[in-house]
Amino acid sequence: MSVNEVLSAGFSAANQRLGGVFLDLLWKIAWALLSGAALFLLVSWISSQLGSIQTNGPLPLQNPVALALLTRELWNRYAASLFWMVVLLIGLSKTIWVLLEAYFRAGILSVDGSFFQKASRHFRLFIASSVMKSGFAAIVGALLLLIVFGRYLSAPVADWNAMWPETRPPFLVALVIWIAIWFALTLFETLFRSGSFELLGTDLFTVVGLIGTLVIFEAMIMGAAIVGVLAVASIATGPVGVLIKFAVSVLAVLGLTVLHSYLLLVRFSSVTALESEAVIIGHVDV
């Protein structure tokens, strides 16, 4: 099968399973609410600490010098605690994301049973692939950043602007390398989750073309959405403009989220169609 034929079969199959797009959006909303609740608790803690300092005596916060002293006191007293709380918040948010993503997408993208049967049966497979992909991408990204920006660690902050022109080319090269590695990880994750690793040997170029087409298409739509949001932001002004910017940004994020969920369903449906075709051809050849 050609890439066009595989994509056509994938879109046809995905259009018959549009409920999966709603389920994929549902767990992301749940993640956002849980992460927002954790962030609210952190902000509440910071606010309580501010209140405890202000009750020690009246502070003229309109005075920039007094405000700077207050900020320094807060930093000296709570910097370590705030750092670890932010780390804990990010770790908790990422853990919730991984668990919800693995469970829901195991039920959405698998094809052998009801949603709950598929989710419970393939949960470990999906969570293992998610952890491996995220961990490897993070390690590679950290190493590339250390290679590119390592000398910044020993240089004064005032010299960073002068160092950037020399850093820009290696940064762009590192970015291209990371994107290529991320694409390869996405390809492996897709085949691993769909149980179609044999396609690497039988239809490698078709699989690469299939996933590459969908990724590039999504990137183009994302770029157009960003340009649209920036255009609206440059036109809208005043209090009403702020509301318009917020509404357009929310609609753009929601639209891109739905698009990503749909194209993900198309990707896995296309891989399933390609694998079915390969199995049929294999039986015919035998």
Domain boundaries, the chain: 3-281
Question: How far from chain centre, in Å, is Cα 171?
Answer: 21
Question: pTM of the prediction?
Answer: 0.83
Crossing angle of helices 64-109 and 238-285, in 10° steps, is 30
Q: And the tokens for 247? A: 């509404």
C-alpha distances out from residue 131 to 101, 137, 142, 201, 259, Å? 11, 10, 16, 25, 24
In whole angstroms, give the CA distance from residue 271 to residue 111.
12
Q: What whole-number distance in Å separates Cα of residue 242 and Cα of residue 235?
A: 11
How do the pLDDT tens digits run along the chain, 286 residues long? 788 888 999 999 999 988 999 999 999 999 999 999 988 888 887 777 666 655 445 555 555 666 676 677 767 776 777 788 888 999 999 999 999 999 999 999 887 788 899 999 999 999 999 999 999 999 999 999 999 998 888 888 788 888 888 899 999 999 999 999 999 999 999 999 988 888 888 888 999 999 999 999 999 999 999 999 999 888 877 788 888 888 999 999 999 999 999 999 999 999 988 887 754 444 444 4
Which residue is associated with the tokens 């390398």?
177
Structure tokens at 275: 């694998």
Distance (Å, whole) CA 237 – CA 245: 9
How far apart (Å, rounded) are the C-alpha atoms in residues 210 and 10?
A: 10
* Angle subtended at Cα 253 by Cα 252 and Cα 257, rounded to the nearest 5 degrees: 115
Distance, in Å, from the CA atom of 264 to the CA atom of 270, rounded to the nearest integer, reads 10
